[in-house]
Structure 1
Amino acid sequence: MKTRRSFLQKASASALAMSLPAFPMFSLTKESETYFDFQEVKPLRVAIMGLGSYGKRVADAMKDCKRAKLVGLVSGTPSKVESWKKEFGIEDKNCYNYQNFDQIKNNPDIDAVYVITPNGLHKEHAIRTAKAGKHVICEKPMATTAADAAEMVSVCEQAGVKLLIGYRMHFEANTLEVVRKRKAGEFGEIKFFQGLSGFIIGDPTQWRLDPVLSGGGAMMDIGIYSINGARYMIGEEPLWVTAQEVKTDPVKFKEGIDETITFQMGFPNGVVASCLSTYSMNYLDKFFLNGTKGFAEMQPSTGYGPIEGRTHQGPLTNPHVTHQTTQMDEMAAMILDGKQAEIPVDGREGLKDMKIIEAIFEAVKTGQRVDLV
């Protein structure tokens, strides 16, 4: 419906345009472009929970965001809070520890909390965030069990807040180009997918090698990329999994921490995805998709970038943008504007990966094929 206000806004804009000098648009300076901004775009105001190395990576990337802004911190380490406050200009009133965090519900200056704590703490921290009335962005894997993931989804839905999972690759330009080509039929009928994900893990005392905090080893950390990648590259959900584990260092990779797992996933269209997840080999970051009319090969396929690859039509040439910058701007648009991601990043997407991971662990344990319901 046309309103008097909208009419006046358009009339004012037309009058302003007519009154400006007749210079071509390309002659305007960057500063003068703001002259045409009639309405300031609201940013998503984010607090980061967990000020570790990846939290720092996200915070640095957000400096270049257009729609997301870092405004709050949550940490159990006072020294980190102090140094981050100075570096990122965070106000004291937006800083919390794990004891007083629930008071964030009374802070109108924070819209969402990005949970970047160890996997085993995701459920607790996400649920506390949701109950405080704040939107939840949770790093992957979203939990350590499918049951916990399902509870997170339920609580967020009941609280009326968004639950988004940190699938940064779902916004990466070359990845999206391959998915669009597959949807357009440019690869023909998909026949095969291979995903290789791994690196040699370092410090044996880190939380990633603690079964309680990590919920598993390489599969939870790096293997999830091949699981998730197979799903969006093939465009279907797997029906079954088989898996085999190799453990060469039972001291470093104790009970509950997988070192290397090869696994297979069967899809409705007959495609079998052959994948590897490991903590004991480097140079493994590769996706390969094969179809009757063409192929896509990406290496590196999920690293921090640049993502490189080619198809039967030639190289993928989209410019590299810091993944976390794009992710946070896109998630801001999802939360604030209701935008839909081309590849889902919601809690139910994360729950699907958790169910597959549990099935892979079961297949390793039993030596049998495990069907996915």
Structure 2
Amino acid sequence: MGLNRRTFIKNTGLLLGYSMLPYSNLYSSTSQKPLGVCLVGLGYYSTDLLAPALQLTKHCKLTGIVTGSPWKIPKWQKRYGILDKNVYNYQNMNRIADNPDIDVIYIVLPTGLHAKYAIKAAQTGKHVWCEKPMARTTSECQAIIDACTKNKVKLSIGYRMQHEPNTQQIIKWANTQPYGKIKTITAEAGYYDSRSDHWKQNKALGGGAMYDMGVYPLNATRYVTGEEPIAVLKAEHTTKRPKIYTEVDETTHFTLEFPSGAIAKCKTSFGAGMNTLRVDCQNGSYGLRPFQAYGGIRGKASDGVLLNHSIPNQQAKQMDDDALAIINNTSVLVPGEEGMKDIRIVEAIYQAASSGEKIVLQ
């Protein structure tokens, strides 16, 4: 596919081709005012996806920003009516502790910065939403969890697909197994990234295909089976652009083994477009294609059952779900422990690729 990620989304209408209706008909009513959300980091995902999605939510709204780029501030204030007192930089974001307009701090930074700023966010006493992947290491993940626990705030990781209805149906099938015992899973996620100088090519910042796109197929294998893998059978990093991908992986293949005997064959890449989830079972099969795009998630089963439920905006649903968990003091759908489980396996995948050996997961 000769398209970069943003062009692909635009040309296929995955982002803009949906009804822009609010979510008033999707949630139980509540008299509480929407939660104020502060976005930390105003890059592509915040600018093009989260901020517009917050205009569609019922239970939260955009009230604050944290940025290290002062030139972005006037544009954001004009577009979203953000007050001067709700604008922060990375040095003074601790002052959010005294701001009643902000209830949630959403970390939308390069992966290598998640731990530092998620911990800072927790220390303000505000609830924390952190984009996936949760962090670079399991120790960083645990530090985030500990900070949120100590400060008695909720922590949710931005795995939006677990909030998506077709994906949720597949998660239910992990328990009911309507097509028999799961034999194999094929999961692939990637896009062609034409950039040659971006943080996703920087190891210290958490770059690499496995961290960025690889957590989609990895997380999918876990929710498809309802199990934790017991081993990374093999893993391999490759690149067709060695002058660009000097520090991190451009493409990664990995194979996982699960307690039930299911085998997952996965691939992720910055060098080619791919977006498939297939589950082969003893008595049939099912899957989604695409399975992790920003919209248009579709699939079917071997007996003709369709997976074609649609929602106006994935990010809006994710944030409203997480807001309701705060409002109602219930468990979040994707807690920090879920994010840490993926990073534990990511670390093992890199170890397997480096050693060329099977890695048993403890």
For the criterion TM > 0.5, the same-fold answer is yes
2:262 aligns with: 271
Q: Distance in 2 between matches of 1:149 and 1:185?
A: 32
2:215 aligns with: 224
- How far the C-alpha of 1:250 sits from its partner, in A, is 1.6
Q: CA distance change for structure 1 residues 200 and 107 in 2, over 3 Å: closer, same or farther?
A: same
Q: Distance in 2 between matches of 1:105 and 1:208?
A: 31
Report whether the alignment pairs 1:133 with 2:133: no
Q: Distance in 2 between matches of 1:42 and 1:186?
A: 41
- Identity among equivalent positions (%) equals 38
Matches within 5 A, 1:245-264: 245-255=237-247, 257-264=248-255
1:64 alignment partner AA:
L
Q: Per-residue CA shift, 1:147-168, capped at 9, x if unaligned?
A: 1111111111111111110000
1:299 aligns with: 289
**Given the alignment, which residue of 194, 197, 201 partners 1:209?**
201
Report whether the alignment pairs 1:199 with 2:191: yes
1:190 alignment partner AA:
I
1:88 alignment partner AA:
Y
**Given the alignment, which residue of 24, 27, 32 partners 1:41?**
32
2:138 alignment partner AA:
A
2:341 aligns with: 352
Q: Distance in 2 between matches of 1:99 and 1:186?
A: 53
Q: Distance in 2 between matches of 1:210 and 1:68?
A: 33
| Secondary structure in 2 matching 1:261 | strand
Q: Per-residue CA shift, 1:193-219, capped at 9, x if unaligned?
A: 110111111211111111111x23100
Q: CA distance change for structure 1 residues 38 and 299 in 2, over 3 Å: closer, same or farther?
A: closer
* Structure 1 runs, 4 residues or longer, greater than 4 Å off: none
1:98 aligns with: 90
1:27 aligns with: none
**Given the alignment, which residue of 323, 337, 354 partners 1:365?**
354
1:309 aligns with: 299
Larger radius of gyration: 1
Q: Distance in 2 between matches of 1:79 and 1:216?
A: 26
Q: CA distance change for structure 1 residues 39 and 259 in 2, over 3 Å: closer, same or farther?
A: closer
Q: Distance in 2 between matches of 1:275 and 1:39?
A: 42
2:146 aligns with: 154
Contact 1:307 1:320 in 2 (8 A): no
Structure 2: gaps of 5 or more residues: 1-23
| Secondary structure in 2 matching 1:64 | coil
Q: Per-residue CA shift, 1:267-323, capped at 9, x if unaligned?
A: 0000010000111112x0100012123221211100101101111232212123211
Contact 1:47 1:73 in 2 (8 A): yes
2:16 aligns with: none
Aligned-residue CA RMSD (Å): 1.6
Bigger mean CA deviation after superposition, 174-183 or 270-279: 174-183
**Given the alignment, which residue of 33, 40, 63 partners 2:55?**
63
Q: Distance in 1 between matches of 2:341 and 2:34?
A: 30
| Secondary structure in 2 matching 1:120 | helix
1:289 aligns with: 279
2:12 aligns with: none
Q: Distance in 1 between matches of 2:72 and 2:272?
A: 32
Q: Distance in 2 between matches of 1:300 and 1:340?
A: 28
More helix by share: 1
1:334 alignment partner AA:
A
Q: Distance in 1 between matches of 2:128 and 2:336?
A: 10
TM-score by length of structure 2 reads 0.89
Report whether the alignment pairs 1:50 with 2:41: yes
2:299 alignment partner AA:
G
Report whether the alignment pairs 1:238 with 2:229: yes
Structure 1: gaps of 5 or more residues: 1-32
1:138 alignment partner AA:
C
- How far the C-alpha of 1:334 sits from its partner, in A, is 1.2
2:361 alignment partner AA:
L
